[in-house]
Chain A
Amino acid sequence: MRWTTLLAALLVTLACWSVPAAAATNDGAVTTSAGSDQVITTDTWRAIRQGEAGFIAGQPDQRGQLIQSEGEAWRSARNGVLAWYAGLALVGVTLAIAAFYLIRGKIRIDGGPSGKTILRFTRIERMGHWLTAGSFIVLGLTGLNMLFGRWLLEPVLGKALFAWLTWAGKWLHNIGGFVFIAGMAMIFVLWARDNLWDRYDGGWIAHGGGLLRKGDHPPAAKFNFGQKTQFWMVIVVGTLVASTGISLLFPFTFADLAGMQLMHLIHAGLAVVMVLFILGHIYIGTIGMEGASTAVTTGHVDLNWAREHHSVWAAEEEAKSAKPAE
């Protein structure tokens, strides 16, 4: 009798146990290790390729990403599109300026130097110009070195010297950026008003700035349309280059890796655009035109130069200086 009672009790217990057990099997669909090949599929590998991050212990979370394919996009953009087009544009614009010099020659003062000068830029204006210009030359050269130096300078200088120069250049670039920003802020405050478009710009554009024909001098106020374009290019493009530059100076502070790759391409691409504009600016301010460079060195320009190139401004200045004498 006893064993039958025991058996009955056992059966009842089993019956009771089997209910939750059955529920668990139907509910969970937990895969065992034998079926693991069905759980890790090609989709998982594709997800890794596309940058899906996993869990990582003891190291920063972003290191959980196994493969970041954007790196290769950045590489081909930098070493391909950027290096190639920037190089072409730099060579092309330099050749175009050289051709312009050969064809048009130096733009002389038609009336010849008068011997009398007029103050064009005050000391503070010249300081603003040179803060911007001096830092830009350093930034431009060291920046171009980062992009092209390996192919142009390294074979000449050797690895050790070139690496040291590039290291020093990187620091000059990092610090020079802040000088450039200060200079840019200064010229914006000093010159923004004079660079607003006025009624003389239409005529200046129609005459091609008087660049094409000898003795052609469309009227202009303190700045002509070409200078205004240059000014706003520096302010707008310069601000973009400066802001992306600052974000690169502080890695992972303003942007993640993908953001930094993009910032770098914008920074380098726009900086090359600025260099192209500035090549033209330096040309016309020095060897391209008689009497122009003293505006930013001594601050004074020849009266005849002022009357030819900035007739409206020259007339205003002459009227101003005539008044106190009355």
Chain B
Amino acid sequence: MARMKFLCDAERCIHCSGCVTACKNEHEVPWGINRRRVVTLNDGKPGQRSLSVACMHCSDAPCMAVCPVDCFYQTGDGIVLHNKDLCIGCGYCLYACPFGAPQYPSTSNFGGRGKMDKCTFCAGGPEADNSKAELEKYGRNRIAEGKLPLCAEMCATKALLAGDGDMVSTIYRERVMARGFGSGAAGWGHAYRDQERTRERKGAGAKE
């Protein structure tokens, strides 16, 4: 299996927020948290572009590196997941994450933030696949069912791509060649550079 990646095509995103809604509904995301968000640049001006962003599942994930209780792990497909039972709500992953992915049920409660929540690439958590415990803590596990993340699957303009990094970049390259413009893939360099620095991955596809 391959390395899973997200890519949002700024030339296609129409800021419909379907990805945000799909994610929120699919995973019964806690109140006040949106695992995905859509940001509009140059809003109302020429050259306006929108981008959908969530956890990028970085190769050398900063959240994993700074967690004092080591609650993160990376699957064989390169998906960065975490264990809410271990999380102490210290907020270090929030300090470190370049993409603002980690969020807490409570943000200003005397340091009692609650358990961190973030995008799981629709891959659940450490509990048994598709168990009730996994559903309640992390949401649905579509990857275990052989499906890709719902946000990308439901994207009306196919701006948001998710899946095998090689396949995603092939699709994107072909698009850019065909239309002849718009080649910035936001966040890619940031999230997936230094592939060699990738931590030891566990589980299916670990050996590639």
Residues of A that sit less than 8 Å from B by CB: 30-31, 36-37, 39-40, 42, 44-45, 48-49, 52-59, 63-69, 71-72, 74-75, 78-79, 145-147, 149-150, 154, 159-160, 162-163, 166-167, 170, 174, 248-253, 257, 260-261, 264
Distance from A260 Cβ to chain B, minimum over Cβ atoms (Å): 6
Q: Which of B62, B65, B111, B186 contacts A45 (CB 8 A)?
A: B186
- Contacting residues of chain B (40-97) with chain A, CB-CB under 8 angstroms: 40-43, 46-47, 49-51, 53, 62, 65-71, 83, 85-92, 94-97
Distance from A58 Cβ to chain B, minimum over Cβ atoms (Å): 8
Residues of B that sit less than 8 Å from A by CB: 10-11, 17, 34, 37-43, 46-47, 49-51, 53, 62, 65-71, 83, 85-92, 94-100, 107-108, 110-111, 113, 180-182, 184, 186-187, 190
A49, A145, A251 pick with most chain B CB within 10 angstroms: A251
- List, in ascending order, chain B residues with CB within 8 A of A145's CB: 68
Q: How far is the CA of A71 from the CA of B187 in the complex (A)?
A: 14
Q: How far is the CA of A149 from the CA of B66 in the complex (A)?
A: 12
Say whether B107 contacts A252, CB under 8 Å.
Answer: yes
- List, in ascending order, chain B residues with CB within 8 A of A72's CB: 62, 96, 98
Say whether A37 contacts B180, CB under 8 Å.
Answer: yes
10 example contacts (A-B, Cβ-Cβ < 8 A) are as follows A42-B184, A54-B50, A66-B51, A66-B99, A67-B99, A150-B67, A154-B69, A166-B69, A249-B111, A257-B95
Say whether B40 contacts A54, CB under 8 Å.
Answer: yes
Say whether B113 contacts A68, CB under 8 Å.
Answer: no
Q: A63-B37, A150-B70, A159-B70 are in contact. Are A75 and B111 (CB under 8 A)?
A: no
- List, in ascending order, chain B residues with CB within 8 A of A66's CB: 39, 51, 53, 99, 186-187
Distance from A51 Cβ to chain B, minimum over Cβ atoms (Å): 9
Say whether A163 contacts B85, CB under 8 Å.
Answer: yes
- List, in ascending order, chain B residues with CB within 8 A of A63's CB: 37, 39, 100
